[in-house]
Amino acid sequence: MFPISRQVSIFLLVSAHIAGFLGLQWHVTRAWFEWLVPFNLVLTAFVLFSAHQDWSWRFGVFSLVAGLGGFLLEVAGVATKMIFGDYWYETSLGFQLWRVPLTIALNWWVLLYVCGVIAEQTRLAVLPKILIGASLMTFLDYWIEPVAMRFHFWNWAGGVVPLQNYVAWFVASCLLLGVFYSLQFRKQNALAYWVYGAQLAFFVAHNLF
């Protein structure tokens, strides 16, 4: 991956999330910034993984399992309504395959990696790290859901997010983070905290304003 300095990376992450927040808040630019959401995710992933230092086959296996596994889980969830509940994707997240945006695969990959890296720094046993990482995933999702409905990322039947969604999100995160920790590759990335913090601040701010 093309290297970017830490200062430039942090500037890009923070600037993109601030611009996205302001653009979505202002009704004049909202439609345009909804269209830009997938590009923001791609930029975040590019900046994040530019700081990753271990592109071994083991990391490749994790990446494939995280992205494809998360995507297929969403496909099954949308089709059956039995995993997360009754929800469907809108148009803001870009091109869809089997009624699920392809950017969702990227989102699972980024979030699992970020939460896995953060939990790795605790130096606890594997099971506690999995539980911490899955808790970080679920906590973030709690703040994402209202914003997702507000800006047409996806929607829930009756406009209510069921408890089932958070339980399934936590369990799925545990399973996929189990793969993350079972594979030996470098699990350090100074930008992981910045990505998680920027995303959390972005969604919390939208819930407050």
- The tens digit of pLDDT for each residue in 156-192 reads 999 999 999 999 999 999 999 999 999 999 999 999 9
> Is the distance from CB of 102 to CB of 94 less than 8 angstroms?
yes
CA distance 33 to 31: 6
Pairing status of strand 87-89 against strand 100-101: unpaired
3-state SS record for 121-153: CCCCCHHHHHHHHHHHHHHHHHHHHHHHHHCCC
Dihedral sign (CA 179, 87, 140, 26)? positive
Low-confidence ranges of the chain (pLDDT < 50): none
**Residue spans per domain, the chain:** 6-208
> What phi, psi does 156 have (nearest 5°)?
-115, 145
Q: What is the pLDDT of residue 92?
A: 87
Angle formed at CA 71 by CA 18 and CA 99, multiple of 5 degrees: 90
pTM for the predicted model, two decimal places? 0.95
